[in-house]
Amino acid sequence: MKTIKIFDTTLRDGEQSPGCSMGIDEKVIIAKKLDEMKVDVIEAGFAASNQRDFISIKKISEVVNYSVIASLARCNKNDIDMAYEAVKDAKKPRIHVFIGTSDSHIFDKLHKTKEEVIEIVKEMVSYAKEKCHDVEFSLEDATRTDANYACKVIDAAIESGATTINILDTVGYTIPREFSSFINYLMENSMLSKVDVSVHCHNDLGNATANTMSAIKQGVNQVECTINGIGERAGNTALEEVVANIDTRSDYYDCKTNIDLSKIYEISLLVSEVTGSVVQNNKPIVGKNAFKHEAGIHQAGVLNNKKTYEIMNPKKYGIYQDNMVIGIHSGKHAIVDKIKKLGFDKDKYNIDDIVSDVKCFFQNKKEITDKEFIDIVNSNKKIFKKYEL
Ligand code: KIV
Ligand code: ZN
C-alpha cells in the first residue's frame, strides 16, 4: 500500500494565522510532539523572515530525530543561505523554495516576465541544490496558473535538482474535481513522475481537505497541512482530517500514512493552548462535539451498537471522553446509562420522573454538570414503604 508523506506546516503557515505567533521554546515543544507523532516533514519556519524563526528552526533541527526539517525560502540567495544555515544540523535537512507562477503573482507582485521567472527558478533551485540534496520547490498560486506554463516551471525546477514539487492552492480557489484534473494534466505533461509530488491547500472556500483528498486520489504522495487547520486567513488543510480520511476510507484511497494517530488529540490541545486559537466545537476529529451524541434516537442506537452512528473510534485518536451528552434531546436509554455510570442502582429511582426533570432542567440551561444530574437523581428516589403485620 502506498504511503502518503505528511508535511506539517503548523510552525510556519499555521503561525501565520493572525494572533497565532509562538515563542521559540513553544515551537520546540510542538516540533518534538510532531516528531513523536511521526510527521514525515516539519516545516519549522521561514529562516530569513525574522531572527526568532531562524533560531527556532536551528533549535528544532538539533532535537528532532525522525522528521525531515524544512525551512521556507523565497527565490533569492540570501533566503536560501539563511534556510540552509538554519536546517544544516538536522538529521534530514530540506530547503523549501517558492515563487509565484500565476499571471497575477508574476506581473502584479514580482513585476517580472514569465521567461524571467523560469530563469530565476533554474538559478535558485540549482543554488539550493548545491547546498542541500533535499530541495522542495513550490509553485505559489499554482491553481490560478496557466497549466502549460506550470509544466514549464515544474520541468525547470526538476532539471535543476528539485526532489519534491509542491502544487499550491494559495488562495483556496480551486474545487475538488477541477484540482484533480489540474494535477492529472501536470502529471501527464511534465516530468512530475520523477519526483515526489505534493499539494498545499488553503481553506478559503472550505474545500481544503476535499481538494487535498482529491489530489491523493490523483496520485500525489505528499500533503501539506497544519494541526487544527490553522494558517493564513481561513487556514490550511487540517492534518487530523487528512489522516482520518486516509485511515477511515482506506478502502477508497488505498494508501496509508506513518502518523501515530493516538497522538492527534494531545497535539491538537497543545497547539490550541500555545496559539490561543480555540478549536470550534464541531471541528472534525478534534472538536469538543466531534464524537458526542445528544439526540435520544442516536444515543439509543449507539448504546446498542456504536456502528449505528460512529464511523471512527475516538480512542484511536487519543480521545477518551464520554461520548454521551445529556441534553434536552436525550431519552431514557442515555439517562439510565448515565445513572449507571455514576454508580447508582437504577431500580431504586423513578426513571420516568428523572427523565422529565432532566427535560425541565434544560428549559433554561444548555449544559448539565454531574453534580446537577446527581441532584435530580437523588430527588427521585423510590420510597419503599415498610408494612408490619
Ligand atoms: O500558501 C502558500 O502559497 C504558501 C507559500 C508561501 C509556500 O504557503
Ligand atoms: Zn500556504
Which atom number of ligand 1 is nearest to the Cα of residue 72? 7
Which residues, listed in sequence order, are joined to residue 164 by a DSSP beta bridge?
A: 136, 196
Residues with CB under 6 A from ligand 1: 13, 98, 138, 140, 168, 170, 200, 202
234-264 per-position pLDDT tens digit: 999 999 999 999 999 999 999 999 999 999 9
Name the grid cell of 110: 514580482
Q: Locate cell 507582485: which residue?
A: 109
C-alpha cell at 246: 486516509
Q: How far is CA 91 from the centre of its chain?
A: 24
pTM of the model: 0.94
Instruction: Identify the three-state secondary structure at position 137.
Output: strand
| DSSP for residue 102 | S
- Judge whether 286 and 268 are in contact, CB under 8 Å: yes
349/344 Cα distance (integer angstroms): 9
Instruction: Report pLDDT digits (tens) over 169-205.
Output: 999 999 999 999 999 999 999 999 999 999 999 999 9
d(CA 232, CA 140): 14
Query: How far is ligand 1, taken at its centre, from the CA of residue 140, in Å?
Result: 6
Nearest CA owner, ligand 1 atom 2 = 170
Q: What is the pLDDT of residue 135?
A: 99
Q: What is the pLDDT of residue 327?
A: 94
- State the distance from the centre of ligand 2 to the C-alpha of 224, rounded, in angstroms: 9
**pLDDT, position 321:** 87
**What are the residue boundaries of the structural domains of the chain, listed by start?**
2-275, 296-378
CA distance 322 to 341: 10
What are the b/e assignments for 77-88, b being 16+ CB within 10 Å?
eebbbbbbbbbe
Nearest ligand for residue 168 CA? 1
CA of 153 to the centre of ligand 2 (A): 19
**Superfamily (CATH H level) for 2-275:** Aldolase class I (3.20.20.70)
Distance between Cα 36 and ligand 1 center (Å)? 25
Query: What is the per-residue pLDDT for 386?
Result: 74
Please list the ranges in the chain whose pLDDT falls under 50: none
Per-residue pLDDT at 38: 98
Query: Strands 135-140, 164-169: parallel, antiparallel or unpaired by DSSP?
Result: parallel
Which ligand is closest in space to the CA of residue 102? 1
Taking the centre of ligand 1 as the mean of its atom positions, its distance from the CA of residue 357, in whole angstroms, is 54
For a pocket test of ligand 1, which of 96, 171, 200 has the largest count of ligand atoms closer than 8 A to its C-beta? 200
Distances from the Cα of 155 to the Cαs of 186, 195, 202, 331, in angstroms? 10, 11, 25, 62
